[in-house]
């Protein structure tokens, strides 16, 4: 039977620098994470895009489908890219920002298009 003096704990010896991690904690894995303020701002932007744009369209007597797809996707996509890259990682707007924002804008626009025009519930 081993005594407490003989026990040795093995720890992960990861020499790679960690890129991600919120201000609250650090992770062992290279995964994106958001702080509470960034997540709150993201929810506010999503609500403004998907409640505000259709409300503005109704006030202007415009059908809300296409304006919500065209404006809502890029607003949400680039806000997520901004909050992750500029605010959390403290980097400048580089080519990575524009690529991530563009890809997220396309994905969100396609999801909104499916919801508005095909009534597909995700």
% of the chain surpassing 70 pLDDT:
70
What pLDDT digit, counting tens, does each position of 35-84 carry?
788 888 889 999 998 899 989 999 999 988 888 889 999 999 999 999 88
What pLDDT, on the 0 to 100 scale, is given for residue 110?
Answer: 92
Tokens describing residue 55: 């409300």
As a three-state string, the secondary structure of 53-87 is HHHHHHHCCCCCHHHHHHHHHHHHHHHHHHHHHHH
Q: What is the pTM of this model?
A: 0.64
What pLDDT, on the 0 to 100 scale, is given for residue 122?
Answer: 47
Judge residue 77's burial from the number of C-beta atoms within 10 Å of its C-beta, 0-12 exposed, 13-18 middle, 19 or more buried.
Answer: buried
Q: Is residue 86 within 8 Å of 93, Cβ to Cβ?
A: yes
What pLDDT, on the 0 to 100 scale, is given for residue 19?
Answer: 59
Q: Which of residues 55 and 26 earns the better pLDDT score? A: 55
């Amino acid at each position: 039977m081993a005594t407490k003096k003989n026990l040795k704990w093995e720890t992960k010896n990861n020499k790679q620098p960690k890129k991600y991690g919120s201000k609250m904690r650090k992770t062992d894995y290279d995964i994106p994470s958001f702080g509470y303020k960034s997540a709150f701002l993201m929810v506010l932007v999503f609500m403004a895009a998907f409640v505000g744009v259709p409300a503005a369209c109704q006030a202007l007597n415009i059908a809300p489908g296409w304006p919500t797809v065209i404006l809502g996707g890029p607003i949400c996509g680039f806000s997520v890219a901004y909050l992750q890259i500029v605010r959390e990682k403290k980097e400048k707007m580089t080519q990575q920002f524009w690529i991530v924002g563009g890809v997220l804008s396309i994905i969100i626009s396609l999801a909104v298009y499916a919801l508005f025009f095909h009534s597909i519930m995700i």
